[in-house]
Amino acid sequence: MIDINIPFICKKCGHQVTPAELTCRNHCTQCLYSLHVDREIPGDRASTCHSLMEPIKLDQNSKKGFIIIHKCLKCGKEIANKVATDDAFEALIRLSQKSNLNQA
Ligand SMILES: [Zn+2]
Ligand SMILES: [Zn+2]
């Protein structure tokens, strides 16, 4: 088993991110940026890209609830991630506003 629920320092804002309680943490709770470490499935850690992934959209999934769409700044890969319970609420609101602007 790969240990994927580990604390890490956010490469974007420097926040020290603690492991999530119920899910595999893969993005910063403060700025919501992620790292491109997964290739196909969240948690597979099969990517060799390792670049910053920008949160570009907040989406709603009927099964999973709110999800963040991350886009890799280097290769352009988009990956959907579940919102964690302790993600910064303000950052999520900003992202949802950004999503609405993009659709308009
Ligand atoms: Zn951050
Ligand atoms: Zn990438």
The tens digit of pLDDT for each residue in 33-65 reads 999 988 877 778 889 999 999 999 999 888 878
Give me ligand 2 centre to Cα 11, in Å: 14
Q: What's the whole-model pTM score?
A: 0.83
- Cα of 27 vs centre of ligand 1, distance in Å, is 8
Q: What is the pLDDT of residues 81-94, one digit of tens each?
A: 889 888 999 999 99
Q: What is 55-74 written as a DSSP string? A: EEEEEEETTTEEEEEEEETT
The strand pairing partners of 81, in sequence order, are 68
Please choose, from the candidates 84, 86, 90, 52, the residue with its C-alpha nearest in 3D space to the C-alpha of residue 70: 52
Distance 29 CA to ligand 1 centre (A): 7
Which two tokens mark 55?
């949160």
Cα-to-centroid distance, 76 and ligand 2 (Å): 6
DSSP letters for the chain: -------EE-TTT--EEPPPSSS---B-TTT--EE---SSSTT----S---EEEEEEEEEETTTEEEEEEEETTT--EEEEEPPTTS-HHHHHHHHHHHHHHH-
Domain boundaries, the chain: 8-97
